[in-house]
Amino acid sequence: MQQDLDGKVVIITGASSGIGAESARQLARHGCRLTLAARQTDKLEALAAELGSDVLTVRTDVTRRDEVVAMVETTIERFGRVDVMFANAGIYIPGQAIEGDPDSWSNLMKVNIDGVMYCAHAVLEQMKAQGSGDILVSSSISGFVDIEWEPIYSASKHAVTGLVHTLRRQVAPLGLRVGLIAPGATATELWDKTDPDEIAQLTDVEHGFIRAEDVARAVVFMLSQPPHVTIRDLVILPQNQDI
6 touches 31 (CB < 8 A): yes
Residue 92 among the catalytic residues: no
Coil, strand or helix: which one is 1?
A: coil
Coil, strand or helix: which one is 138?
A: strand
The CA-atom distances, in angstroms, between 35 and each of 38, 40, 87, 127 are 10, 14, 12, 16
Q: Pairing state of beta strands 84-87 and 55-59?
A: unpaired
Catalytic residue among 86, 92, 153, 209: 153
For residues 106, 118, 141, 203, the Cα torsion angle rounded to the nearest 10 degrees is: -100
242 exposure class (CB count in 10 Å sphere: 0-12, 13-18, 19+) = exposed
Helix axes 115-130, 151-171, angle to 10 degrees: 10
Sign for the CA dihedral angle at 77, 82, 84, 86 comes to positive
Active site residues: 153
